[in-house]
Amino acid sequence: MKVIVSNFNNIQKIGFFLTILSTLTILMLHFPFGGYVDNTYVEENIFKYKCPKLEDLEEEEKLAGRKFTDRERLKKLEYCYEGQYKTLPFNEWRSNEPIYEWFGSIVHTLSAVIFCLLMGFLFIFLFKDKAGKNDGN
């Protein structure tokens, strides 16, 4: 790395520094340290069994001699629906705790980093010495 940077003139060194600094800033705004959302819970309304109706639950309450709690009602209805975790495609992954929301998307972050690197390489290429001289070095 030192060999490459030592061959740069002063303007190229500034461009190289700004490229590295902006890339690190983008990565910090993305904040990958909090983990990623890479799966989602999908509930499919698949009626495998005959689901109890409200009247059926009221009938059961009468037989039991008490009112069911909301938790008990949900437990009786939960077998009507089937849900599962599905892995998201890579382009839909998101950082859990991005500092700036737009950079939460992995696609946005990678696009910004690639753009930054391309601008840095373009800057270094455009300000290359024609005669191979360094500015006073």
Q: Judge whether residue 119 has pLDDT over 80.
A: yes
Q: Judge whether residue 60 has pLDDT over 90.
A: no
Decide if 25 contacts 70 (C-beta within 8 A): no
Q: What tokens does 128 get?
A: 């290359």
Q: Which residue has the higher pLDDT, 57 or 92?
A: 92
- Residue 2's pLDDT is 56
Decide if 39 contacts 86 (C-beta within 8 A): yes
Q: Mark residue 89 as left, alpha or beta (left: phi above 0; alpha: psi -120 to 50; beta: remaining).
A: beta
Is the overall model pTM greater than 0.75, yes or no?
no
Q: Judge whether residue 25 has pLDDT over 80.
A: yes
